[in-house]
Structure 1
Amino acid sequence: MKSIELFAGSGGLGLGLSLVGFEPSVVIEWDKWACDTIRENKKSGYPLVQGWEVHEGDVRTFDFSQLNDIDLVSGGPPCQPFSLGGKHKAFQDKRDMFPAAVDIVRKLAPRAFVFENVKGITRESFANYFLYILLQLSYPEVARKDNESWNQHLSRLEKHKTHGNMHGLHYNVVARLLNAANFGVPQQRERVFIVGFRSDQNRAWCFPLETHSLDALLHDQWITGEYWERHNVSSKKRPLMPEKYLHKVNKLRQAVLPGTESKPWRTTRDALFGLPDPQSSEARVYFNHTFQAGAKTYHGHTGSPLDLPSKTLKAGDHGVPGGENMMVLPDGSVRYFTVRESARLQTFPDCYRFHGSWTETMRQLGNAVPVILAKTVGASIAKELVRNREIDLCNKIKGLN
């Protein structure tokens, strides 16, 4: 299936979508270091990116006129306008790329699209603008006029929707806040996914069900002990149960059916299993597995616990120097995650290399979509598109008969 990848970053969303059958006609990203990461993996022979045509530049200046019959437009518009760590300017921020995303959907009329952004886009102060984004994506042909404010455009979109006018290009759009940990990613990372299907793709769709849970992890750790046995942690070296989980664990013990049907959350310890200490000679076997000195804790930045999913990896000043991109060791000390460890927390494969300095590569990883989460959401979209193609084919055959 043909796709277009916008705001590609270092490739997390694109890799996950490629795993379920989407083949990007072009991959567009304006950051040099992220483009170099993809190019380096092409050069080294990483299979999923071999067919990617990487365009380093602004999506607003790319010529899409030669592209047609696109199944999926995907991407993560820059999140700084909405990030809790940013300046919260939203539509006033020149980095807001949702208008560009809507314009590209209007030009290409793909069968479906998926966009990812930070949780901050849903907070109360952005509520009207988030609604505006969803309505623009629902009715991309109802474009903003010259000298029309976004509030005026929002009102016109609302009238269009309530009028029930379904002529022209329109999409059935849904959005949901997903926690990556609930889908097998060893990181508590909450992100908003916006998915739209072109109105002629006439089947119902919903986001995939969650597969992993905290309850299942607590059951594995503090009731059966299988988690510690799996990691060869003796009873003497096991940490104390966090007091905040005591009530929850007692309830799990009293349950008629112990445990849950879901799988345990994957933890930092799970993710880093098998990786040598970055200061050891064995670390040289792994790409990007280099020790970075200088980690320290302070108020609000205490590092990620070993036996829970990591905290959200962050990009930029609030991530790297801020200390959230570090782990708490069994002795209570802290150190920064290496790039390779961070890549594992984002579920990139070990053979996928990252280009640039530690700061640049950590910025790429802090902005990335976890590969497994992209694959999970992408698989459900791909299944729906394939099903619709089968229906169209059957209808054509019936028409011929």
Structure 2
Amino acid sequence: MTTSQHTVNALQSSLSGINSNAETSTRPLECVELFAGCGAMALGLQQAGFIHPVMVDVDAYACRTLSANRTAFGKSDRLSITQTDVRHVDWQAYAGIDLIAGGPPSQPFSGGGLGAGQHDHRDLWPEAIRAVSEALPRAFVFESTPGLLRPSFSQYLDRLVARLEQPCSIQEDMHYKVTVVPLNAADYGVAQNLRRVLIAGIREDCGNLLKFPAPTHNHERLVWDKWVSGEYWERHGLVRPDASFVPKEEVSIYKRLLKGNTRPAGAAWRTCRDALANNGTAAPAARFEDCTVRRAARQYPGHTGSQLDLPSKALKAGVHGVPGGENMFIDDKGACWQFTVRDAARLQGLPDNFVVEGSWSQGMRQLGNALPVPVATVTGLWLNDCLNLPV
């Protein structure tokens, strides 16, 4: 029997076994994750009802982090954490899995990179396509940098979507409905202005694509809570500042809200102060649960820290020399501090009992590459709904 014939038989057997019980089965949904990183995406998907039999990442510290938190991902006795290059994985073993998820390296497409795209050796989107083509999951979702939407990559993105719509050359009748979703994590309850892109697909015989959920949080409500009602300061046990302290980026919103005198719908953006649980003004010697000392940082033009009472700048995987000061914040006295690993974990929506293995630089690299937990949870619930729709 040829390899292609074996693949077809394996897929047909697995797919028929899953789909025959799709409407009546109460089994938990399963997700295979490649480029799993520290597991923030996996944790969010687990909160949405997906369990993980397999997680794959090439980085040793990321795999140590996954292992240290394996009980958080559900059915931990079945979870296999594999440290390997995804190019060495045979995805046929997971034929018919409910979901394949992951975050291919974004450096080839990010604004801070060389912008070499497919010519960058770190471009592993072909491996994401191969995983889908070999396993033919019921659904898939991959996350990446908004740089992928730049005009210079438009042809690459078009080809990528086309390949994902019909990924398997040996089963040409197997198609996916694919969507590209740009979003800001702050709009979904993350204390970061972090823009990401999701590329998701539903196999045509397994459900239908719904519109991605609308944002639940917004800047207007934060401005209202701070400068109109004062609820924000009260929640933090602080004296409400005079309106003359409204920052320039919020002045126009503040004036518009005063004129309309109507509280905006939805929830307020979460801020650094919210995420750090009132520890934003801690002394430099203060220690968090991971015993990491908060270190002073230096500001200069073009390299400034995040404001406490706004969502942070997007965390970056770079450690020293991050160009815009993304991995630091300014306290109430104007002093600037580096985020600790625990700070960064909180900004990514990870609970305080989540262990991040490695040094500060290794921890920040893992967290800077992560999809925030709340975004992954919203995504997982959305995909679950899509899979439950009639074909």
Is residue 12 of structure 2 the alignment partner of residue 8 of structure 1?
A: no
What stretches of structure 1 of length at least 5 have no aligned partner?
A: 144-165, 393-401
User: Sequence identity of aligned pairs in percent?
Assistant: 40
CA distance in 2, matches of 1:230, 1:191: 30
Instruction: State the AA in 2 paired with 1:225.
Output: G
2:47 matched to which residue of 1? Answer: 19
For 1:205, the equivalent position in structure 2 comes to: 210
Q: What amino acid is aligned across from residue 298 of structure 1 in structure 2? A: Y
Offset at residue 25 of structure 1 (A) = 2.2
Which residue is 2:23 aligned to?
none
Partner of 2:94: 67
Counterpart residue number, 1:232? 237
The Cα of 1:294 is off from its aligned counterpart by 4.6
> Equivalent residue of 1:128, what SS?
helix
For 1:66 and 1:137, locate their aligned partners in 2 and report how far apart those are by CA, in whole Å: 19
How far apart are the structure 1 equivalents of 2:73 and 2:103? 23
Letter of the 1:246 counterpart: V
Alignment of 1:1-400 (within 5 A): 1-42=29-70, 45-46=71-72, 48=74, 50=76, 51-142=78-169, 168-235=173-240, 240-255=245-260, 258-275=262-279, 277=282, 279-280=284-285, 283-284=287-288, 286-287=289-290, 289-317=291-319, 323-385=325-387, 387-388=388-389, 391=390
> How far apart in 2 are the matches of 1:339 and 1:302?
19
In 1, the alpha carbon distance for the partners of 2:275 and 2:344 equals 9
TM-score normalised by L of structure 2: 0.87
Provide Cα deviations, 1:105-148, integer angstroms capped at 9, x if missing partner.
011111110000011111111111111111111111259xxxxx
User: What is the DSSP-based 3-state SS (H/G/I as helix, E as strand, rest coil) of the residue aligned with 2:212?
Assistant: coil
Q: Is the 8 A contact 2:31 2:100 kept in 1?
A: yes
Number of equivalenced pairs: 361
**Amino acid aligned to 2:36:** A
> 8 Å contact 1:38–1:49 — kept in the other structure?
no
List per-residue Cα deviations over 1:28-56 (Å, max 9, x = no partner): 000111111111223xx546472421010
Counterparts of 1:261 and 1:121, CA distance in 2: 32
Instruction: Judge conservation of contact 1:278–1:290 (CA < 8 Å) in 2.
Output: no
Q: In structure 2, what is the Cα distance between the partners aligned to 1:204 and 1:220? A: 35
C-alpha distance in 2 between matches for 1:92 and 1:186: 34
Q: What SS class does the counterpart of residue 208 from structure 1 fall into? A: coil
Deviation track 1:143-190 (CA, whole Å, cap 9, x = no partner) reads 9xxxxxxxxxxxxxxxxxxxxxx9511111000111000000010000
User: Using a 3 Å threshold, how does the CA distance of structure 1 residues 236 and 317 change in structure 2: closer, same or farther?
Assistant: closer
User: Displacement of 1:201 after TM fit?
Assistant: 2.6
Contact in 2 for aligned 1:228/1:238 (Cα 8 Å) = no
Pairwise CA RMSD: 2.2
Residue 197 (structure 1) shift: 0.6
- For 1:60 and 1:216, locate their aligned partners in 2 and report how far apart those are by CA, in whole Å: 46
Matched residue of 2:307: which SS?
coil
5+ residue gaps, structure 2: 1-28
SS of structure 2 residue aligned to 1:235: coil
Farther-moved stretch of structure 1 (321-330 vs 183-192):
321-330
